[in-house]
Amino acid sequence: MKFCSECAQPISKLVPAGDNRQRYVCVSCDTIHYQNPRIVAGTLPTYKGQVLLCKRAIEPRKGYWTLPAGFMENGETTEEGALRETLEEANARIQNPHLYTMIAVPHISQVHIFFQGELADLDFSCGPESLEVRLFDEVDIPWQELAFPTTSTTLRRFYSDRQQTIDNKQSPSLPTHVFDIPEKDKLKL
Amino acid sequence: MKFCSECAQPISKLVPAGDNRQRYVCVSCDTIHYQNPRIVAGTLPTYKGQVLLCKRAIEPRKGYWTLPAGFMENGETTEEGALRETLEEANARIQNPHLYTMIAVPHISQVHIFFQGELADLDFSCGPESLEVRLFDEVDIPWQELAFPTTSTTLRRFYSDRQQTIDNKQSPSLPTHVFDIPEKDKLKL
């Protein structure tokens, strides 16, 4: 940020009165330009223990596999954003989505939120940002070719939770998990 | 937004190539200025069935009661943001925070996230944005003087969950809830 978006004068970086951190401030028109974390909303679409992944057609991490997800838009809910991204990237629909993982990624000021749900049908296909969309059995998941740590964290947790419900003969309802992605994983994001 | 924050030229509102919604775009330097929802992070501090509320010293809703919460900052996690706001507004600390409610408020493009936890001690007091900070029993909660729908939604859910654990003689572990605040409640936000 170099210029004020309200009056076009050069911007300053300073701690405003009554605040305790540096902000982008316009000393001409007194506007404070706050910057805040962004939400990436997505889904973990499942089908009888298989998971749906998309091969990215765009940077960053072009050619790597990811869960369908993207930046949440103004005017929508987290769930609406997650379902919209799933439709845009994989032409897929899921049933009864529930909040599965919320993962803070503080070194890039993002929060990734994934809703899990069974696919409503198997009529999925590539959206413009995907090179390939397919279902994977656990043994076939390309762990070394996953795009982001939040993808692998969510997948690992899903198979861990699933094993536990099988071992304990519980109903397959999944809990909600809240994580952070530590700084050491930042190269993968 | 009237001017480009990168080159100070007047901004346009148009649908960029490959996109499907209007954005603020600079046709001089080709920068697209995306706008995304902001996260409000806060806590539901509890103490043996009582809840801690803050009377707001600032607008909006000055003089009304709220849970400690505020805009999440770049570089922090949702939990860090929630605990920071609790310290800033009420000089209070909570133990073992867990994600309790995530409430989308799409008509103001916000997502409110509350972590519940028992107070670590009773040594709380007013921060600069609070006129008063105190614990309330359920019967004393000023329902008509609560600042925001996300405050009342979170409190009502807490007492409903709590009653259920008492009725069922369960351990008092609370689930995670995901809500939206409908348009009709927007005047209260």
For residues B3 and A173, give the distance between their C-alpha atoms in angstroms, rounded to a whole number.
49
- pLDDT value of residue B172: 62
Contact B102 A78 (CB under 8 A): yes
Mean pLDDT across A19-48: 96
For residues B100 and B97, give the distance between their C-alpha atoms in angstroms, rounded to a whole number.
9
Chain B residues at the A interface, defined by Cβ less than 8 Å, are 1-8, 11, 18, 21, 33-39, 71-80, 98-99, 102, 104, 106-107, 109, 111, 113, 128, 176, 178, 180
- pLDDT value of residue A183: 55
Mean pLDDT across A112-136: 97
Residue B131 Ramachandran class (φ > 0 left, ψ -120 to 50 alpha, else beta): alpha
Question: What pTM was computed for the model?
Answer: 0.93
Using alpha carbons only, what angle is made at residue A178 by residues A75 and B130, rounded to the nearest 5 degrees? Answer: 65
Contact B74 A37 (CB under 8 A): yes
Q: Which helix (H) or strand (E) holds B161?
A: helix B149-167
Contact B75 A107 (CB under 8 A): yes
Predicted ipTM > 0.85: yes
Least confident of A87-96, A160-169, B48-57, B61-70: A160-169
- pLDDT value of residue B4: 97
Closest Cα in chain B to A180: B77
Strand A177-180 to A94-105 pairing: parallel
DSSP state of A146: B
Whether residue A171 is predicted with pLDDT greater than 80 in this model: the reply is: no
Mean pLDDT across A62-73: 98
Contact A8 B8 (CB under 8 A): yes
**Residue of B4, B73, B112 to mutate, interface with A, max A Cβ within 10 Å:** B73
More confident residue, A178 or A153: A153
A20 by DSSP, 3-state: which?
A: coil
Averaged pLDDT of chain A: 92
Whether residue A92 is predicted with pLDDT greater than 50 in this model: the reply is: yes
Cα A27 to Cα A14, A32, B132, distances in angstroms = 10, 9, 33
* Number of neighbouring beta carbons within 10 Å of residue A139: 5
B42, B114 in Cβ contact below 8 A? yes
Contact B109 A74 (CB under 8 A): yes
A43, A117 in Cβ contact below 8 A? yes
A43, A114 in Cβ contact below 8 A? yes
Strand B50-56 to A94-105 pairing: unpaired
Q: Tens place of pLDDT for every residue, chain B, 189 residues?
A: 999 999 999 999 999 998 989 999 999 999 999 999 999 999 999 999 999 999 999 999 999 999 999 999 999 999 999 999 999 999 999 999 999 999 999 999 999 999 999 999 999 999 999 999 999 999 999 999 999 999 999 999 999 999 888 888 776 677 788 767 765 555 443
Cα A157 to Cα A100, A150, B65, B96, distances in angstroms = 9, 11, 38, 21
